[in-house]
Every structure is written in C-alpha cells, then in structure tokens.
Structure 1
Amino acid sequence: MNDITEMLIDSTNRIMKDICTKELVNESEKGRWAADLWDMLAGSGMITVAIPEVRGGNGGEYTDALSILRLAGKYSAPIPLAETYVANWLLNQLGADISEEPLTIALPSRNELFSFKENKDGWIISGKASSVPWARFAKQVLVIGKTESEHALALIKPEYGEIAFRQNLAGEARDTITFESVFMENCEVIPIDLDWVMKQLRYSLAVTRIVLMAGALERVLELTGKYSSERNQFGRPIHRFQAIQQQLALLAGEYVAAGVASDYAVDAFQKGQLSKEIIMAKIRINEAAGNAATLSHQIHGAIGFTYEHILHQNTRRLWSWRDEFGTETEWGMELAEQIMEKGQTGIWSFLTDK
C-alpha cells in the first residue's frame, strides 16, 4: 500500500465515521438522501478516483477506489458510490464525459434493451429497467439499448421517466424506472460493442459487491468481538465461554477468507483480468456473508435483530449484496463452463495459471 492509498483510506474513514452514523443509515431507509455524505466525498475528490486527471478525474488506481468502496461497505454508506465508479470508468474507456454527480446503471438482459430512435432534434427513448440501484436519487441513469443499426448506451435523467420506489432487504433503493417514448434533446447516444460492455459492467459491478461485503464483514467482526467482551453472563464476559470462543473463531475465519478473496479480486481487476479470479472471489465471499451473518447473530442473541442495535445494518446488506450481480449458483455455473472448455488437459493450468 502506497502513501496515496493510505491517505485516501484515512480520509475516507474519518468522513464515514463522522457522517455515516447509525441514524443516517436508518433515515436513508425511510427515503432520505444522504446529501451531506455525498457532498463531502465529492469535495474531497473521492468520486472520480481511477480516472486520469487529463480526463477530468483525480487519478489513482482501481485499487484506490475499491479501498474507498470497502469503507463504504463497512459503514453501510447509503449512496450510489459503487455505481458511480463503474459508470465513470466505463464512460472514460469509451471517451465520454465523466461526472461527480450520483450516477446509476440499469443493467439489462439481452431481451430488455432500451430502444433509441433518432429524431432530427434528438432521440426518442423507450424501455423499462427493474432493481436499478438508487434510481430515485441519481442525477443520470446509464442505459443500454439499440438504435436502428447498432447497440448503444446513453445517460438519461431519471425525471424524464416514471420511477416506482422499491427496496432490497437492507432498505436500499432498488427502483423500477420506465421511459415511454421520452424525447431527449442533446442526448449523447454512444455506439458500443454490446458483448464487451456487458462483460465490463457485470464483472465490475461484481467486484464492487465483493469489496462492499468485505467491508461489512469487517464491521460485523468488530461489533461481535466488542459485544462478546462487554456482555456478562454468570459473572464473566461471554467471550470466555468455550462455545462462544468457537463461534468467534469461525467468524474470524470467514472474515479472513473474505478478505483474501476480496484482495484476489481487486488485484485481478487492477490487471484487467475479468475472469475466474473475480468469479471465485464472488462465490467465496457470498458464502462468507451468509455464514458470518448467522454466527454474529447467534453470538448477539435477540439484541442483534433490534432496530436500536447497529448489527442488522451490516448483516441485512450482506444478505442483499450476495444476491446482486451474481449468486453462488450463477457464478458457479459460469466457472464450470470455463473449466469444461479447457478439457482434462487444461484443468491444472486453469487452476494454477501454470
């Protein structure tokens, strides 16, 4: 870790600790936009990390941005930081303008592409997307569609469409947005290679969920260790009991495994490897999320489920994020397909890179 990364992590940690409180997260689940948190991160140059300065960004590497995102996961930050990072990274690769405003992404299947029809003064856009993260708060939504001759993407202001408010288990906005023959003047529709863009988005968004979960798992371990050392039963802290020590050891093991998986995925992403490294990391950290949530709630007992306690803010996000952008089953099937393509003689090199 270099000095710049350490500085970014330290600054972000202080911002999150000061602003991203339990009360802020609870209020966000009731529909409040965390404007102060976003503005502070934007003012500190945290929104356009990993974008070259010549392109309007703040420089740095993907590893720097993902380190910031891991802290966002630790503190359950209720903002579309992950989606804004991924959208900006893609726009930068395509040579388009980036933004410091909140962005989100409508990731479609191939039969759910938007329709772009050119008009002499602009474009007429139609389409519907569900489970769009933070659509109600985003300034622009990145949508993928098809013109009469090619595939393309565009940034659309959500207010041009109809937004049906939805939430995931964690209370985070996962809205449905519909555009019915919306005319947009001066809209930049960018031609794309659909396969390349879909792969970039799918793997990039999977990496964001990996690091978010790694951060949440860190917080879960901290909260559980603290609670077990303070909660007394039969005249001594409960972490002195062998059964609790066993559960704490298992929880710590899941945290370490998740951390290794996260580091593995981040390193691969930094090198541009959108393949098995990210797949295996998502599978492993998904499993860690489920196991760690169970263990932490067992140790906390009933209090961990109460609204007044903070633990549920992290565990509900672990349960939600593990299902986003690839479950264990979905990624496992893709990994199996890649292995089968190698044949018997290629399995060893596939697993060991040798």
Structure 2
Amino acid sequence: MTDSLLEGFERALADLCDDDAVRRSETGEAAATQWAAIDALGYTNALVPDECGGAGLSLADAFPLFLAAGRAGLSHPFAETAIARAMLAKAGRESSGECIAIAPAVAGGDHIACRNVAGGALADLVLTQWRGEWLLLPVSAALRTPGVYRPQASASLQWRSADAAVFRFRDDEADIMAICNAAHAAGMAGAMQRVLAMTVGYVNDRQQFGRAISQFQAMQQELSVMAEQSSSSVFAARIGCAAQGHLPDVLRAATAKLRACEGGERVAAIAHAVHGAIGITEELALGLFTRRLHEWRSVGCSETYCATLLGDALLRQDGASSQVILDFARTQLAA
C-alpha cells in the first residue's frame, strides 16, 4: 500500500466520517448514503483480483486501509466487505456495491443464526459458513434483534433456512473465524489509536492547579500504558493480516485478536478513567470508539478460544523448552 493511496483514503474518511456523521450512521440515519460514498472511492475492491475489476492487493497491502477505517470510526464493516468481495469474485459473483458483514453461524436445526453481527444492521448482506458451504444472506430477510453495544448499528440475525441465500459456494481454504479475527483486530487497533489521540488531546487541554494534567507523573504513566497497548495491538493486527492472498492465516489471526482484546480492554478503561464523567456523554465521541472495542472483543472468537487455539498448536510441537516456544513464535506467528 503506497502512502499516496492511504493518504487519499484517509482524506476521504475525514470528510465522510466526522463525529456527527458517525453518530448519524450509528442510528441508521444516512447510513446508506455514507456507504455509497465510501464504496464509490473504490477501496472496497482492494482485494478483488485485477481480472475481476479490483486492485488485486494482498491482505498485507490492504491492512493500512482497515486500520484507517477503524481509526476514522466508520460504522460499516469495511474490512469484512473487502474480504467478502474477494471471496465472491473468486467464486464468480460480481459485487454491485453492497456492504457485506461476515459472521459465524450458530448451529441448531435448520435456522441460521448469527449473533451480534458488528455493523450487521447497516449491512446489505451477511456472508457465513453453513454445513460446508458459504452462504450470502440478505439482511432484509432476517429476523433482527438489536445488538448489545450498538443497538441500531449491529444486530443478531436469524434466517429460517439456507433457502434465503442469494448466492452459495464452496471455499475450503477460507476459515471464517480467522477472517473475523483478522478484520476485528485491525478495526480494534485503529480504534485504539483514535482513543489514545483523543485522550492525549484531552489531558493537554485540561488544566488543574494551574497546569495541564498531562504534566502530572501519574497521568503520564497512564498515557504510557495506553500507548504501549495501542502500539502492540497495531503490530499484532498487522501480523494478523500478513498474507500474500486475501485470506488470513489462522494462528496469526488468533494472535492478533487475542492481543487486540487484551489491549482494547485496558485502553478503554484508562481512557474513561482519565476523562471522568465527560467520557460517557453524547457530546464527546469517546464512547463511539470504546463501544466498538467492547463489541469487537465480544464477537467472533473470544480470548479463551484464541488462546486455546494457540496453546494447542504449541503443544503439538516436539518438546516444551523455551527454544521450542521461540521457534514456534518465529516460524508460526511471525510475519
């Protein structure tokens, strides 16, 4: 991803995703118009192969776009749409500008249920894996339950059967949990960068005892912890998207999600502790981003799932020495 392409995307996001625009889209107001403007930029086809009309970028190349979308506060599932369009293009379906969420389905009978789909209420379609097939399901045909953290932007969705799918295909290489982990980790990392920037700006402006509270040692300690957690989450999210194609590696994606979940919890807690009561007001955009952090942390794979996945992979290695652990990290997790 060249700097010029990323800068163009960030400039467009700055115009389309200011705080008021994000608040409106979170409630569903003008969300479709905002998405149409985002999609018209062409970045949603970044992973689609050249021969299918896309940019043909790899997941590693597109990572800065995912990070920028999370940092800007884009309410729609941008990273998921980009990955889904690449998968659909490979399967022979051309996109027509739809916003596509990706979410695992809950097993049980013929009903297909996707719980707490991040941005699901704003998406046009949901891509999920069901009984060995990938199904593209219209949100308009689903029974909706408001999301926990963003009741008007996210939702739990349920369809009566697989017959509701508008397109279905097989892709044995794609792992839905890995896709969600990589996409959510990138969004969380971007949101943490934004929360850190907002907090630094606040403590530099806030005066107490005649000087900015950023000059107090206790506050500097909190900011350093936030910066550490944010930076390590960005690094991990980059590793989670370190792939030459459009699909993430399972172990790297789990590593990214685990680190982002651990970092996101601390960043959100410190940010609200620093801001105090003003942090939960509607006038301040902080809550828009900390709610995202908690939502992304709760959907897809949990920390326990990711840690267990990594632990099982490590235990399958020969021996349990420190050298074995280092070799595992170097050969299995490093980009």
TM-score bracket for this pair, using the shorter chain length: 0.7 to 0.9
Quick one: which amino acid aligns to residue 279 of structure 1? A
- Relative to its length, the structure with more strand (as a share) is 1
Identity over aligned pairs, percent: 27
Matched, 1:174 2:159: no
Match of 2:190 in 1: 215
| Maintained 8 Å contact 2:104/2:300 | no
Structure 1 unmatched ranges of 5 or more = 116-125
Q: CA deviation at 1:182?
A: 8.1
Larger Rg: 1
Counterparts of 1:264 and 1:67, CA distance in 2: 12
In the alignment, is residue 154 of structure 1 matched against residue 135 of structure 2?
A: yes
Question: Could you list the per-position Cα deviations for residues 115-141 of structure 1 after superposition, in whole angstroms to 9, with x for gaps in the alignment?
Answer: 5xxxxxxxxxx6343323444443333
Distance apart, 1:163 and its partner CA: 2.6
1:237 lines up with 2:237 in the alignment = no
Cα gap change, 1:78/1:293 in structure 2, threshold over 3 Å: closer, same or farther?
Answer: same
State the superposition RMSD in angstroms. Answer: 2.6
**2:126 corresponding residue in structure 1:** 141
Are 2:311 and 1:330 equivalent residues in the alignment?
Answer: no
The structure-2 alpha-carbon separation of the partners of 1:348 and 1:96, relative to structure 1 and needing over 3 Å to count, comes to same
Residue 331 (structure 2) pairs with residue 350 (structure 1): no
Question: Aligned equivalents of 1:304 and 1:311: distance in 2?
Answer: 6
After superposition, the C-alpha distances for 1:84-123 in whole angstroms (9 at most, x for unaligned) are: 12211222343443442112234214x348x5xxxxxxxx
Structure 2 residue corresponding to 1:71, chosen from 51, 68, 71: 68
**C-alpha separation in 2, matches of 1:172 and 1:66:** 27
Normalising to structure 1: TM-score of the pair? 0.83
- 1:56-87 CA deviation, whole Å, 9 max, x = no partner? 22333323432222111112111121221221
SS in 2 for 1:142: strand
Q: Which of 129, 143, 160 is the matching residue for 2:114?
A: 129
Once the 2 structures are TM-superposed, how far is the Cα of residue 192 of structure 1 from its aligned partner?
Answer: 4.7
Question: What's the secondary structure of 2:44's corresponding residue?
Answer: coil
Deviations 1:36-74 (A, max 9, x none): 321222221111111112112233332343222211111
Give unmatched runs, 5+ long, in structure 2.
none
Tell me the CA shift for residue 17 of structure 1: 1.2
For residues 65 and 56 of structure 1, the distance between their equivalents in structure 2, rounded to whole angstroms, comes to 16
Query: In structure 2, do the counterparts of structure 1 residues 269 and 37 end up closer, same or farther at CA, with 3 Å as the change threshold?
Result: farther
Q: Map of 1:302-341 to 2, 5 A cutoff? A: 302-341=277-316
Counterpart for residue 7 of structure 1: 4
- Give the superposition deviation at 1:191: 4.0
For residues 143 and 335 of structure 1, the distance between their equivalents in structure 2, rounded to whole angstroms, comes to 24
Deviation at 1:183, TM superposition (A): 5.9
Q: Any conservation in 2 of the 1:51–1:89 contact (CA below 8 Å)?
A: yes
Q: CA deviation at 1:11?
A: 1.5
How far off its partner does 1:326 sit?
1.6
| Distance in structure 2 (CA, Å) of the matches to 1:70 and 1:268 | 16
Choose from 48, 53, 59 the match for 1:62.
59
2:1 equivalent to 1:20: no
Specify the SS of the correspondent of 1:353.
helix
**Which of 75, 85, 107 in structure 1 is aligned with 2:82?**
85
The residue identity in structure 1 corresponding to 2:133 is A
Partner of 2:97: 100
TM-score by length of 2: 0.87
**How far does residue 14 in structure 1 lie from its aligned partner after superposition?**
1.3
Q: 1:203 to 1:303 in 2, by over 3 A?
A: same
CA distance in 2, matches of 1:46, 1:54: 16
| Matched residues, number | 329
Q: CA deviation at 1:271?
A: 8.9
Q: Equivalences for 1:48-59 in 2 at 5 Å?
A: 48-59=45-56
2:227 is equivalent to residue 249 of structure 1: no
User: Are 1:290 and 2:268 an aligned pair?
Assistant: no
Q: Is the 8 A contact 2:60 2:238 kept in 1?
A: no
Distance change in 2, residues 1:348/1:62 (3 Å): closer
Task: Tell me: higher relative CO, structure 1 or 2? Use CA pairs within 8 A at least 6 residues apart.
Answer: 2
Q: Is the 8 A contact 2:203 2:213 kept in 1?
A: yes
